[in-house]
Chains A and B, each alone.
Chain A
Amino acid sequence: MGEKRKIELDYSQLDSDRMRLNVGPQHPSTHGVLRLEVELDGEIVTDVVPHVGYLHRCFEKHCEKMEYPMVTPYIDRLDYISSMNNEWPFVMGVEKMMGIKVSDKVEYLRVIVSELNRIANHQIAIATFGLDAGAFTPLLWLFRDREMILAILEKLSGGRLLYNYFRVGGMAADVYPTFKEDVLAAIKQARKTNPEILNLLLLNKIFVDRTANVGVLPADVGINYGCTGPMLRGSGVPYDLRKVEPYSIYDRFDFEVQVGKGEVGTVGDCWDRNIVRYREIEQSCNIIEQAINQMPMEGDIKEGFPKKVRPPKGEIYSKAENPKGELGFYIVSEGKNNPERVKCRSTSFVNLSVLPEISKGYMFADLIMILGSIDIVLGEVDR
């Protein structure tokens, strides 16, 4: 609407009282148990300090006491919105240490479930972001579509949110007979709803006014803070592990890395981050469509299972492109049944760290929008 977005005040001239406001840990739009200590001058944010740790569950310490297959269920509980994607880097790392090569069918199945989960994650991200802006209806529409994806993943793994589906050397269960039809139907539905969401929410004049030029993350700041995923791609950096360091079989698919172009405002604002997510839904649909047509339906999904999951002595850093960014596991093995040390490089935590940098000087309502556009899950922040 207006040309001046950034409200600049010379604070030395004003003798106003600042108000310290605790946003959270119980607050409708902190996306979990995050506490933000906000300093407000009227409605303008002068300082933000995120306090994390309300959901800390000692994930890394737990891993040291458990055998490798027992770690996967705990990984589900990190970023509980995209559990399938979470399991992949850990399983992949252990497989690399043990020198296991999984069959093509397993690779394709992993790509399909991960991309399905990526769609589900981005749908939630856009929906809750709309909710932060006060738009209720897109939330319900996107949750309706997500239900189809969850139904597929439930039929595959038995769980609706926490799947525990990846295994070292294979998958927990084979596909069910109508798998292909279900996946194609879910893609069709996602593609049908996407333009509706674009018209209803993303191109809405009010929504554009609220998000354009708000929370601008310059590319160099994003790189310095270690941001990844749609957060960094929204700033115009085409960094996608699926493309720059193709793992698994991602080099076989034809898809584009989406970056923010600043169509309605500055490159790297809240709107850009969301349009990247929106377009990645379409790209994921393309990948799934290619994968489901190439996927061999014969073969035993469990043939690559090792007798005992016991990687040799050594260490590995294994990473994959999560919907929220780069998720990495640093695993140290002493040649025992349980890992000596597991360190998780969690995306949400790193992305959240940039919040104070990009939210000063905006209004309080903008702070909520910026936080929503980062798309954090507190399970992953606190671990």
Chain B
Amino acid sequence: MEQNFVNMLIGNPWIAALVIVVLPLVFVVIYALIAILGELKIASFVQERLGPMRTGWKGTMQPVAEVVKLLQKEDITPDAADKPLFNLAPFLMFAAAFAGFAVIPFSPYFLPSGIELGLFYVFAISSLGIVGLVMGGWASNNKYSLLGAMRSAAQIVSYEIPAAMAILSVAALSGSLNLNVISDGQSGWFWNWYIFGGPGPWAKIFVIPFTLGLGLIYLISTLAETNRTPFDIPEGESEIVAGYHTEYSGMKFAMFFFAEYANMFIVAAILTLLFFGGWNSPFGDFLNYWWMQPVWFILKAFFWVFLSIWLRWTLPRLRVDQLMYLSWKVLLPWAFICFFAVGLFVMLK
């Protein structure tokens, strides 16, 4: 398999490397605008109202207007804040979110970095975002920010463990940590996806309940890791105003916002790659051309983004102790059981 079509198109490796870096960045910006519009429009659909209608055709330009508005805002730094940390935090968070794109294969011919430990890397680098979050909360010198940062640190660390269990199971099934290889292992019809036990003989029906459970566990964990409802406790508006980004304004606030949306896409992409066939067409060879594969991938990832938006406008918010209860007493034991079952299946296969 070719590592990257950009390398083939452009002879010079340095220019090619630059293009490879810029492509995901462009994608993130466009995706964030679409996701913000989706958030507004889905919310207004759920709530039986029109949503933004005045900017552009049916309000489609609203995200652009909001970004322009944020650019014009005064950039306030509180006097009592720790200025270097305060200024660094949003960019650290966005950098961590963006760095995850290095190992996301949009198609078999576009994998920015071909390292074999892709899955491990994306988990490690997305955990780095917490540092930015705690940094912002602490440096703001605001009690609400501090509470929010404390909550989110505890929350994200807790939910990484069940998520890691789910990931390890897929690694065991596929025998690789390279996301491109994992995707490749699920080619064919949708029953070859790892959510349905991966490709294999009929004996795999024994493992299907466990892989389904792992998919659900990973989905719940990703909601918690990206601070989305019902786990949006770090920015729980009704309690701690805006959590860790209470004191941020203007473009720094926008960076937090971008990071959140970029993170949403990263986890949706990982979920797609691990459990839902990655860039493969769900229907065998139907529309499984090289130019269609990125479309399938983005469609699948967007579905999970849509799901998290949908949940946000439907569910109330959990409390901190209930969140911990769910992680440590419900998800973690079940993740271990499923992991054990999947491991046994792989050994006996």
Contact = CB atoms under 8 A, between A and B. Distances in A.
B322 A134 contact: no
B138 to A, nearest CB: 14
Contacts of B316: 130, 133-135, 201, 204, 206-207, 210
Given A27-B241, A132-B238, A136-B313, A206 B321 contact: no
B143 interface: yes
Given A1-B325, A136-B43, A366 B319 contact: yes
Interface string B216-244: 00000000000001101100111111000
A137 interface: yes
A80 B34 CA distance: 40
A177 interface: no
A363 B238 contact: no
B61 interface: no
Contacts of B238: 28-29, 131-134, 368, 372
Nearest to B326: A1
A137 B239 contact: no
Contacts, number: 86
B317 interface: yes
B111 to A, nearest CB: 38
B317 A141 contact: no
A66 interface: no
| Chief secondary structure at chain A's binding surface | helix
A49 interface: no
Contacts of B321: 2, 7, 363
Interface residues on A, range: 20 to 34
Interface string A3-29: 000010000000000010100000111
B317 A134 contact: yes
Contacts of A366: 319
A43 interface: yes
A184 interface: no
Interface in A139-154: 140-141, 144
Instruction: Indicate the member of B232, B238, B326 with the most A CB atoms within 10 Å.
Output: B238
Contacts of B229: 134
A364 B317 contact: no
A134 to B, nearest CB: 3
A209 interface: yes
A204 B49 contact: no
A264 interface: no
B319 A137 contact: no
Interface residues on B, range: 20 to 34
B75 to A, nearest CB: 21
B314 interface: yes
A249 interface: no
A137 B318 contact: no
Nearest to B146: A19
Instruction: Indicate the member of A130, A206, A368 with the most B CB atoms within 10 Å.
Output: A206
A49 to B, nearest CB: 16
B48 A144 contact: yes
Nearest to A42: B150
Interface in B121-152: 143-144, 147, 151
Interface in A202-230: 204, 206-207, 209-210
B47 interface: yes
Contact of B314 (A28, A131, A200, A363): A200
Given A136-B47, A140-B47, A141-B48, A206 B239 contact: no
A70 interface: no
A2 B43 CA distance: 32
A365 interface: yes
Contacts of B237: 28-29, 134
Nearest to A211: B316
B307 to A, nearest CB: 16
A133 B318 CA distance: 8
Contacts of B317: 133-135, 206, 210
A133 B241 CA distance: 13
A141 B326 CA distance: 30
Contacts of B240: 364
A201 B151 CA distance: 25
B313 A134 contact: no
B315 to A, nearest CB: 6
A21 B46 CA distance: 35
Nearest to A21: B143
Contact of A206 (B47, B230, B241, B313): B230
B318 to A, nearest CB: 6
B315 A204 contact: yes
A131 B237 CA distance: 9
Nearest to A29: B238
A28 B230 contact: no
Contacts of B322: 1-2, 209-210
Instruction: Indicate the member of A28, A136, A200, A207 with the most B CB atoms within 10 Å.
Output: A136
A137 B43 CA distance: 8
Contacts of A137: 46-47, 313-314
B320 A363 contact: yes
Interface string A184-205: 0000000000000000110010
Instruction: Indicate the member of B232, B237, B321 with the most A CB atoms within 10 Å.
Output: B321
A140 B230 contact: no
Contacts of A204: 315-316
Contacts of A131: 238
A21 B142 CA distance: 10
Interface in B233-259: 233, 236-241
28 contacts: A1-B326, A2-B325, A27-B241, A28-B238, A29-B237, A43-B147, A130-B316, A135-B317, A136-B43, A136-B313, A137-B46, A137-B313, A140-B47, A140-B48, A141-B47, A141-B48, A200-B314, A206-B317, A207-B316, A209-B318, A209-B322, A210-B318, A363-B319, A364-B240, A365-B233, A365-B236, A368-B239, A372-B238
9 A-B pairs with the lowest CB-CB distances in the bound complex, closest first: A134-B317, A140-B47, A133-B316, A29-B238, A135-B316, A132-B238, A134-B316, A207-B316, A365-B319
Given A134-B315, A206-B318, A363-B319, 11 more contacts: A1-B322, A43-B147, A133-B238, A136-B313, A141-B48, A206-B315, A209-B322, A210-B319, A364-B240, A368-B238, A372-B238
